[in-house]
Amino acid sequence: LALRAELRRRGAFEAAQQPRIDALLDLVALGTIADVGRLDDNNRRLVSLGLKRIRTGRMQPGISALFAAANRDPAKATSQDFGFALGPRINAAGRLAEMGLGIECLLTDDAARAQALARQLDAINRERRDMESGMREQAELMLEALMPKDEPPAALALFDPDFHEGVVGIVASRLKDRLHRPTFVFARGQDGLLKGSGRSIPGFHLRDALDLIGKRHPGLLVRFGGHAMAAGCTIAASSFDTFRDELQRVAEAGIEPALLARQLSTDGPLAPECFTAEAVAQMDAAVWGPGFDAPVFSEEVEVLGQRLVGERHLKLSLRVQGTVRDGIWFGRTEPLPDRAQLAYRVSLDEFQGRQRVQVVVEGMGD
């Protein structure tokens, strides 16, 4: 918009003949959500307009191809598709292969070329998921051996010679979410130095913590950068223990104990009349993200049945407000008590052409 306005001011064209750039709104929407941009009034409008175009079939060939590769229906596109389906496929190329693959997929006007690139990105993303899963399992085993039984330290730093540099950030994010602690994960780079990626929790500025560590130990950090919630650094392999210990000291001094307990804001119980496919579809169609969080509900429920599926997820049968509902808790393996105060969102589970409302558990109260 700024470029077009400047060209117009210079007389390159009149307002009536100026280029139409609304055709780029699908890319604007993807970039805003995939890069975790804050959904202020303006950004939320732009994402909404981008989604509207995609749902009516007006999109770049690359975005159409990515929807197909992810087995998602663009006619039902949501902001979650950008964050959890399209974005990871584009990013996977930069993590494990060549970043230019994702860029070319978004830029090309050739539909056949876009489809070929999208299939390639999908294959790379599957490789990335397998690698991430293995690294996360290894990291969790390391944590079990390193952590005290009662309470984890205020911050975590992990390194294993088999970790891959391309996915340390994703693994750090997963561990941070699970333990609610600032977390760094390191892998050895081709130059022999350790490349670390960190993720933080609200109340602990990760980049400032690195700056403090660098001042206390000149030369420890070969380079570093980032912001409050995500940062990266490079250190010598011999410096890892010093870095880990110093990160924990900085976190212990800088994080209020109350901030180490995970808190989840909710909207209270969901009204019974909203447990419908129509209501859930309406919620899904809205634009959610940073600064405009998706609704999360909470109430006490009765746990009628529970079993593990896929070895990592808890499939549930719940009595919610007197009605039996299907539920699932992704990433949870420990059993629930007979009654529990659960925080949850609702989603549509489609099976054999039938839609059912499913409770997706986000957390459990004490």
Q: What is the pLDDT of residue 178?
A: 84
Do the Cβ atoms of 56 and 74 come closer than 8 Å? no
- 224-227, long-range: CB within 8 Å, 24+ apart, which pairs? 226/198
Those residues whose C-beta lies under 8 Å from the C-beta of residue 122, and which sit 6 or more positions away, are 69, 70, 89
pLDDT at 238: 96
- Equal CATH topology for 2-127 and 272-364: no
Q: Are strands 194-199 and 183-188 parallel, antiparallel or unpaired?
A: antiparallel
- pLDDT-above-90 percentage for the chain: 72
Fold classification of 272-364 is OB fold (Dihydrolipoamide Acetyltransferase, E2P) (2.40.50)
Q: How confident is the model at residue 170 (pLDDT cuts 50, 70, 90)?
A: confident
Domain 147-260 has CATH 3.40.50.800: no
Identify the architecture of domain 2-127 in CATH.
Answer: Alpha-Beta Complex (3.90)
Query: What share of residues in the chain are helix, strand, coil (percent, to 5)?
Result: 45, 20, 30
Tens of pLDDT, residue by residue over 25-79, are 999 999 999 887 889 999 999 999 999 999 999 999 999 999 999 999 999 999 9
pTM, entire model? 0.78
Could you state, in order of their start, the residue ranges of all structural domains in the chain? 2-127, 147-260, 272-364
pLDDT of res. 234? 97
Q: Please enumerate in sequence order all residues whose Cβ is within 8 A of that of 273, keeping only pairs 6 or more positions apart, or say none.
A: 279
DSSP letters along 139-178, please?
HHHHHHHHS-SS---SSEEEE-TT--GGGHHHHHHHHHHH
Cα(99)–Cα(338) distance, integer angstroms: 49
Where do we find the tokens 């407000």? Answer: 321
Question: pLDDT per residue over 345-357, tens digit each?
Answer: 999 887 767 788 9
